[in-house]
Structure 1
Amino acid sequence: MHTAQIDALLEYEVRSPTHILFNLEAAFHEGHEVVQERLTITPSMKVRTYFDERSGNRFFRLDAPRGVLSVNYHAQVHLHPAPVPLHLDETPVTAVPDDVLHYLLPSRYCESDTLSRAARQLFGHLPPGLGRVRAIENWIHDSIAYLPGFSNSTTTAQDVFVQRAGVCRDFAHLGITLCRALNIPARLVVGYVYFEEPPQDFHAVFEAWLDGRWVLFDATRMAPNDRLVRVGTGRDAKDVAFATMFGDVQMLRKELMVEQGDLPSATPVHAQPAAASLVTG
């Protein structure tokens, strides 16, 4: 079993009173267990928390006054991912569950309708199933250059396909798009994971629905999928932004530190996630 220690610090200059939505806390998900966490917000203010029962995403909202806002999240997480079988079939569209069907549709950053012809030309001849999604993952890794700073918040999968460069979220968006274009439900997953380069940051991968289960894929190959602490799951990046501002705010600092290791097999594991402690001040 793997363990992860997470420390995330975000600091902002709030130029006018602003409502902010954060998605920073480890999600409620069967693949890991939060055994300890602490959220500290400075200056002290009222915070509203909620979570999405379908995705497990956890959110908190606040009304930030003018001035410097600091948000610090610390967590200890035990990971117990399920092994991926060597063979998984694709699910016919008629058998896709109702709550999964919307992951087949085009979305803001994933134009699966406009890239459908390219997807069929590249991968339509391959046998359906896990191997075809692996082929998509491999093609993105081999064809798209990882270039920090090359893309921006408006870059879509089609842009990445044309420009052949981007960062982890761009790799994931392209994987989602090519899967959906082949009638394979796919979605974005973001979270915390340790990797050596570039410096620690939020990481994005994609997930495909195969044989009645979600399977993670990472075309960047920057870190093992079984080490990812999931924070957000959604159709694309607009669903899983770590912070959404409704006002005039500038980021001053973002520091992430992730330490990961292996737990001894005899280490006891709690049955339920530990309750978070919220500190404002």
Structure 2
Amino acid sequence: MRIHIGCEMSFDFRQETPLIAMLNVHYSRASDLERPDFLTSDPPVPIESYRDSFGNWCNRLVAPSGRFTLGTDAVIRDPGTFEMADLMAWQHEVRDLPSETLLFLLPSRFCESDLLADEAWRLFGHMPLGIARVQAVCDFVNNHIVFSYGNARPTRTAAEAYREQSGVCRDFAHLAVTFCRALNIPTRYCTGYISDIGMPKPWSSMDFAAWMEVYLGGRWHVFDPRNNSPRIGRILIASGRDAADVPLTHTFGPSTLESFKVWTDEIVE
């Protein structure tokens, strides 16, 4: 399957403003791109690219004052099948985990696994280890939080989402990440594209999404507490400890987001 993916974001800046953008497909999917998904801007400005400490591809630039647009556009190849969970994946003892996964057991800015540890063990400590326990977390979070753009805010933490029972996909992911870390399962926060390919219509307007990956059975596995169902065409952009590590854009000054478009369209041969 071939999928047309991309985004366009337009800002209004009061003055020249440094900006970091994380909008490119993750290196683990780069070989599936038919051509590089270069970040472009209007008006054009010099763009410097680098990898952050998690291996995510980042772009830094200085946006001029006034209207400024940036985005990507690409075609990516995808298996075109629904995601399949490995039901036999086991949960590692902490002492047996690879050292590079230990960071994803620790509390972070939006995922206060220390604050919610007692609640995590109360809710899920009786569940079987491994995939079944992670799925129980996702089922709980999916039922506990009501999706609402109107109640979104960029500073909400997992503990606050748990109390308020409202939020957007990042809040679902943060809470599930937090519970899993408290249960000694390495878990990282992910952002990227999730298509509606294969889902019943009508489809809502596309947006970037958040989900998580857990380390079980010697590899990372995708779980999506917001949608809580397999998808076709999930395309990773970045992963980290939480949303603070992987913002789509980070501006070092005042700005107003004027428009925002995302597309993930199947190309019918």
Aligned equivalent of 1:58:
57
Aligned equivalent of 2:199:
none
Whole-angstrom distance in 2 between the partners of 1:41 and 1:151: 28
Q: CA deviation at 1:261?
A: 6.0
Provide the identity percentage: 33
Whole-angstrom distance in 2 between the partners of 1:179 and 1:111: 11
What amino acid is the match of 1:50?
Y
Deviates more, 1:144-153 or 1:189-198: 189-198
Whole-angstrom distance in 2 between the partners of 1:210 and 1:262: 36
Note the 1:144-183 alignment, pairs <5 A: 144-183=145-184
1:142 aligns with 2:148: no
Aligned equivalent of 2:211:
205
Aligned equivalent of 2:194:
193
Gap change, CA 1:38 and 1:48, over 3 Å in 2:
closer
Q: CA deviation at 1:226?
A: 4.6
Q: CA deviation at 1:99?
A: 1.1
Deviates more, 1:106-115 or 1:58-67: 58-67
Q: CA deviation at 1:260?
A: 3.0
What amino acid is the match of 1:233?
S
Deviates more, 1:193-202 or 1:250-259: 193-202
Corresponding residue SS for 2:100? coil
Calculate the TM-score normalised by the size of structure 1.
0.87
Q: Give the one of 227, 242, 248 matched to 1:242.
A: 248
Whole-angstrom distance in 1 between the partners of 2:76 and 2:55: 15
**Is 1:218–1:225's contact at 8 Å kept on the other side of the alignment?**
no
**Is 1:77–1:229's contact at 8 Å kept on the other side of the alignment?**
no
Q: Give the one of 220, 225, 231 matched to 2:226.
A: 220
Aligned equivalent of 1:92:
93
**Is 2:24–2:38's contact at 8 Å kept on the other side of the alignment?**
no
Calculate the TM-score normalised by the size of structure 2.
0.90
Q: CA deviation at 1:237?
A: 0.2
**Is 2:190–2:236's contact at 8 Å kept on the other side of the alignment?**
yes
Q: Give the one of 251, 258, 263 matched to 2:264.
A: 258
What amino acid is the match of 1:205?
W
Gap change, CA 1:91 and 1:191, over 3 Å in 2:
same
Note the 1:117-132 alignment, pairs <5 A: 117-132=118-133
For structure 1, the 5+ residue unaligned runs are 264-281
Whole-angstrom distance in 1 between the partners of 2:88 and 2:232: 18
Q: CA deviation at 1:185?
A: 0.6
**Is 1:193–1:223's contact at 8 Å kept on the other side of the alignment?**
no
Q: CA deviation at 1:122?
A: 0.4
Whole-angstrom distance in 1 between the partners of 2:4 and 2:167: 28
Aligned equivalent of 2:77:
78
Aligned equivalent of 2:9:
10
Which 4+ residue blocks in structure 1 deviate beyond 4 angstroms? 80-83
Whole-angstrom distance in 2 between the partners of 1:129 and 1:251: 41
1:20 aligns with 2:26: no
Q: How many residues align?
A: 261
For structure 2, the 5+ residue unaligned runs are 197-201
1:29 aligns with 2:28: yes
Q: CA deviation at 1:211?
A: 1.2
Q: CA deviation at 1:38?
A: 4.3
Whole-angstrom distance in 1 between the partners of 2:30 and 2:130: 23
Corresponding residue SS for 2:10? strand
Whole-angstrom distance in 2 between the partners of 1:35 and 1:248: 36
